[in-house]
Amino acid sequence: MSPPSAIYSETATVVAGSHTNGLKTKPVIQNLGPIANVPSGQCELLDEFAGKWDEFKFGPVRESQVSRAMTSRYFKDLDTYAESDIVIVGAGSCGLSAAYVLGKARPDLKIAVIEASVSPGGGAWLGGQLFSAMVLRKPANRFLDDLGVPYEQDPTNENLVVIKHAALFTSTLLSKVLAFPNIKLFNATCVEDLITRPGNPGEPSSMRIAGVVTNWTLVTMHHDDHSCMDPNTINAPLIISTTGHDGPFGAFCAKRLVSMEAIEKLGGMKGLDMNSAEEAIVKNTREVTKGLIIGGMELSEIDGWHRMGPIFSAMMLSGVKAAEEALRIIDVRKKECEA
Ligand code: AHZ
């Protein structure tokens, strides 16, 4: 962010209606003392701070201490998660739902979540057409009960429940996922390739996925105009890819499976049909290639399912199914990788 330009005089003070010779002046906020009309005892922060701003003071800090507080932790995380148990690619509603279930079910697993965007959450900060409410079908409300997100019954359809704002769901889910000590979110980081190994002799698939290739998203976006910006890697016996339907960053692993000839071609997402799409995505969330589970809307590109548009039940339950699949095979995949 660029520094603010000087648009007002630091020293000038003005009260409403006074003349300022055209100079833009900082409006004076009179110190009213203890906040009028705020009943005490209702907010401990106000009890602590209100009316004491004159004597308020931060302790001193050296800038390098702030830098080191960030960088030492980030580099430690890079070191810790260079060998992960599970990597989740994409922190949209499906990926975060999978992370939540896995974090709860297996605190012993090291789980890295890689999100290309600075802001995790994918398409789940708003409902459809940028409206606020998030609508879903039962029994996905069980996921909300577990998470502690309030919702209301839709009066027109007993199958539908509504969260007043999609951001309430996404911020709650994100806060719970981030609180797990065994989960690290690397945002602003893009998965730009997959690590592969030959498959075991006699197995139908000729290869397995053994990790992800990452880079800062800003670097990934500039491979066409800057050369030789090599990536970093994370090894993991199991990847869950939930990068959404096709788009500039969408369906990444699905598309890569085609270019690596691990699958012949994409099914391609079909037009919108909520009824068939939601069940199809949940039921078919699975290990598509050894070591790679695909869930959420990315799966519609693999199999050719319909899209469901502004209803989110399938994304949450596809996340639950992806977690269940992961828990079923993780220990086997770990052993295979050690062999
Ligand atoms: O930034 C992407 C988003 O947050 C992230 N992502 C994509 N490619 C990535 C890559 N590396 C790292 N190569 C990557 N991150 O993946 C996230 C996908 O979130 P999403 O909300 O788009 O997908 P979802 O499957 O969780 O939810 C989709 C919800 C639906 S349904 C639908 C329709 O039917 O039209 N549209 C949407 C958005």
How many whole angstroms separate alpha carbon 168 and alpha carbon 151?
Answer: 10
pLDDT recorded at residue 206: 77
Least confident of 32-41, 116-125, 326-335: 32-41
Give residue 27's pLDDT: 43
Give the span between the Cα atoms of 240 and 288, in whole angstroms: 10
Cα–Cα distance between 201 and 328 in angstroms, integer? Answer: 23
**Minimum-distance ligand 1 atom for the alpha carbon of 253:** 13
Q: In this predicted structure, which of 6-20, 91-105, 268-282, 314-328 has the lowest mean pLDDT?
A: 6-20
- % of residues, the chain, pLDDT over 70: 86
Best probe residue, ligand 1, of 253, 297, 306, 307 (max atoms within 8 Å of C-beta): 297
Residue nearest to atom 33 of ligand 1 (CA): 309
**What local confidence, expressed as pLDDT, does residue 16 receive?**
40
Q: Report d(CA 172, CA 225) in Å as an integer.
A: 39
Q: Name 311's Cβ contacts closer than 8 Å, sequence gap at least 6.
A: 135, 136, 137, 274, 278
Residue closest by Cα to atom 5 of ligand 1: 90
45 three-class SS: helix
Query: d(Cα 302, Cα 263) in Å, to the nearest integer?
Result: 9
Residues 6+ apart with CB under 8 A from 334: 85, 237, 238
Q: Which of 244, 231, 240, 252 is nearest to 328 (CA)?
A: 240
Average pLDDT rounded to a whole number, residues 71-89: 98
pLDDT at 78: 98
User: Is 149's pLDDT higher than 50?
Assistant: yes
Q: How far is the CA of 271 from the centre of ligand 1 (A)?
A: 17
pLDDT > 50? residue 278:
yes
Question: For the ranges 12-16, 65-69, 107-111, which has the lowest average pLDDT?
Answer: 12-16
Answer whether residue 192 shows pLDDT above 60.
yes
Cα of 123 vs centre of ligand 1, distance in Å, is 6
Give the burial class of 200: count Cβ atoms within 10 A of its Cβ; 0-12 exposed, 13-18 middle, 19 or more buried: exposed
Mean pLDDT of 33-52: 74
Bridge partners (DSSP) of residue 86 are 111, 238
Cα(249) to ligand 1 centroid in Å equals: 8
Half-sphere exposure of 237 (CA within 13 A, CB side): 16
For the segment 219-232, what is each residue's pLDDT rounded down to a tens digit?
999 999 998 899 99
The residue whose C-alpha atom lies closest to atom 36 belonging to ligand 1 is 309
pLDDT class for 13, splitting at 50, 70, 90?
A: very low
Beta bridge partner(s), residue 162: 135, 152
Q: What is the pLDDT of residue 199?
A: 82
Q: How confident is the model at residue 62 (pLDDT cuts 50, 70, 90)?
A: very high
Q: Which whole number is the average pLDDT over 205-222?
A: 94
Asked whether the predicted pLDDT for residue 55 surpasses 60, the reply is yes
Whole-number pLDDT of residue 8: 40
From residue 51, alpha-carbon distances to 27, 37, 44, 202 in Å are 20, 13, 13, 75
**pLDDT band at 9; cut points 50, 70, 90:** very low
The predicted model gives 101-108 an average pLDDT of 98
- Domains along the sequence of the chain with CATH: 89-336 (3.50.50.60)
Arithmetic mean of pLDDT, 94-108: 98
In the reported structure, the alpha carbon of residue 281 is separated from the centroid of ligand 1 by a whole-number distance in angstroms of: 14
For 218, phi and psi rounded to 5 degrees? -65, -30
Which positions make up the binding site for substrate? Answer: 94, 115-116, 123, 191, 230, 245, 297, 307-309
Is pLDDT of 240 > 80?
yes
Give the model's pLDDT for residue 10.
41
